Amino acid sequence: MTAYDVVEFLNTEKLQKGYLDYVAKEGTTEELIEAIKTVAMAKGMTKTAKETGISRSGL
């Protein structure tokens, strides 16, 4: 399963938070970084960039 497959299921803020919480507790640092990227994609990269003050390419 790829990040793009997971994005389809992360369609609410509650699911996104739960996913990040789980990976933070159970996963490796690399998996957490991937999870953060996945949630950013699920929220929309442009929206995430504006909310965080980080450029799209920086995400």
Name the domain count of the chain: 1
Asked whether residue 12 is domain-assigned, the answer is yes
Asked whether residue 54 is domain-assigned, the answer is no
User: What single-letter DSSP state applies at residue 55?
Assistant: -
- Would residue 53 be called left, alpha or beta, if left means φ above 0 and alpha means ψ between -120 and 50 degrees? left
Confidence label for 53 from pLDDT (cuts 50, 70 and 90): confident
Asked whether residue 53 is domain-assigned, the answer is no
The number of C-alpha atoms within 13 Å of 45 and in the hemisphere containing its C-beta is 8
Asked whether residue 57 is domain-assigned, the answer is no
Tell me the residue range of the domain where 7 lies: 1-26
Residue pLDDT, tens place only, 3-51: 778 888 899 999 999 999 999 999 999 999 999 989 988 888 778 777 8
Residue 8, pLDDT score: 84
Residue 19, pLDDT score: 96
Residue 5, pLDDT score: 80
Asked whether residue 1 is domain-assigned, the answer is yes
